[in-house]
Amino acid sequence: MERLEVAFAALAIARRAEPMAEPTYLLELACAERAAGSADQLVAVSCSDCSIRLHHGHTLRLLGRCSGHGGPVCGVRFAPASGSLLFSGSADGTARCWDARSPGSAAVQVFRGCSAHAFCSFDVSPSGAVLCAGTERLEEDSFLVFWDARMAGSGAGGGAPLGVYSESHSDDVTQVRFHPRDPDRLASGSTDGLVNVFDIRRGSEEEALLGTCNSESSVSRVCWAGRGYGQLLCLSHDEGVYLWDTARLDTEEPLTLLSSPRAREAAPIDGGGPLDYFIGGAWLEAEEKLLVLGGTHRGDLYLLDCGPGGLKQVCALRGGHSATVRCFHWDPEGGALLTGGEDAQLLLWKPGAVELSSDKRSSLKSAPALRHKARARDIGSGKREKK
């Protein structure tokens, strides 16, 4: 742990992406796998203007943008073992595949669900064969929609779903996350408070549902963690933190390793004041540590070690962002951290780095209309009783 603290404490801003003419919130990050022997890497960033920006991973130079979604983008993922194919899901009811070598061109594939579906979560299996999107609640139902990523379909024709799950959640499906190593295992989280684990090889939805964990709160983020990725981290919209052992799904042993509904207030951070929010989690496989990233609305970031005993601050990162940070990506190979947020800034942090330009930009927060468009979903009204 001491070695990890030293490494994180050395993180400093190495690069800032050049500001865009029109400020926009940066909502999600995805990084392509590096080719063998190459240091080059593509970074995709979903933005609140419904576009996806492609950046060079080392310089953060803007390479282009993918435009075509008619609603907010709810997820971006590169195809595993390929830096040239990028998938995205959107509230416009489509998932799309883009050729990252030709940013600015139309999507090469379009996958559609029911015309009434609005997607609010999206992921790609580690094999790259299956896409999954979670929908907003539609009348009395919420859905998990699956497609074969290899299905030939483009333009208006699109790819039809492989199948749909409709019984396991009763409200917006805010997260779908495939297991990093098992392409048939999927976790889903919802504003109904439930986190479900599925084996999608099984025939019916009832057979596929392996187990359910209940956070008793609206689910914001889900992250696979632990040795062999046998645990699930859940972050709630009211800033609670939960950790479950999925290896116990078929046993009578308790699943819960950590339940901290007031984790934001309890997390010890420098300066004494509480965190304002949690951004997400990442399992550091080599170190066997679960990292949670939190922040303040001033733009300060805090890296926290998460375990059954709760949260412990590892280090603080200041002087980078000037507003709420919405997304991050940890690169274990380079020991680098990418962050993006509501100040329209994309930052690359590296150990011992010296920023090439020290001209810190002020907040590029957009107009109130943009804030309303990109804000977290209001979960206070219409919340349904948990199953």
Q: Along the chain (387 residues), what's the average pLDDT of each consecutive run of 10 residues?
A: 80 92 91 74 95 95 95 96 91 96 93 91 96 95 94 58 95 98 98 98 95 97 97 97 95 94 89 87 95 95 95 93 96 91 96 66 41 40 43
pLDDT, residue 50, reads 97
* 294 falls within a domain: yes
- Burial class for 227, CB neighbours closer than 10 Å (0-12, 13-18, 19+): exposed
Residue 114: its pLDDT value, please? 86
* One domain, residues 252 and 294: no
Cα distances (angstroms) measured from residue 223 to each of 11, 157, 187? 23, 34, 9
Task: Indicate if 117 and 31 belong to the same structural domain.
Answer: yes
Which residue among 284, 306, 322 closes a domain? 284
The pLDDT score that the predictor gives to residue 384 is 46
Q: Look at residue 275 and tell me if it is in a domain.
A: yes
pLDDT at position 123, please?
98
DSSP assignment of 52-94 equals: EEEEETTT--EEEEE---SS-EEEEEEPTT-SSEEEEEETTSE
Tokens 């599925």 locate to 198
Residue finishing a domain among 233, 257, 284:
284
Q: Do residues 115 and 197 share a domain?
A: yes
Q: Tell me what pLDDT residue 115 has.
A: 82
* Any domain includes 384: no
Residue 251 domain-assigned (yes or no): yes
Whether 366 is in a domain gets the answer no
What b-and-e string marks burial along 268-297, b requiring 16 or more CB atoms within 10 Å of the CB?
ebeeeebbebbbbbbbeeeeebbbbbbbbe
Which CATH number does the domain housing residue 142 bear? 2.130.10.10
At 129 the pLDDT is 95
Residue 129, domain member (yes or no)? yes
pLDDT value, residue 3: 75
What pLDDT score was predicted for residue 230?
A: 97
Residue found under tokens 């699956």: 146
Judge if 271 and 341 occupy the same domain: no
Tell me the pTM. Answer: 0.89
What is the chain's Cα-based Rg? 20
146 and 277 housed in the same domain: yes
Q: Are residues 191 and 299 in the same domain?
A: no
Residues 261 and 113 in one domain: yes
Are both 275 and 344 inside the same structural domain? no
pLDDT of residue 37: 56
For residue 244, is it within any domain? yes
Residue at 208 is within a domain: yes
Q: Are residues 296 and 268 in the same domain?
A: no
Asked if 289 and 275 sit in the same domain, the reply is no
Q: What is the pLDDT of residue 156?
A: 44
- Do 268 and 312 reside in the same domain of the chain? no
Last residue of a domain, one of 265, 284, 303: 284
Count: domains in the chain? 2
Name every residue whose Cβ is closer than 8 Å to that of residue 149 and which is 6 or more positions away in sequence. Answer: 79, 87, 97, 124, 125, 128, 129, 130, 131
Which pLDDT does position 33 carry in this prediction? 87
pLDDT at res. 385: 45
Same-domain pairing of 212 and 119:
yes
- Structural domain containing residue 303: 1-23+285-351
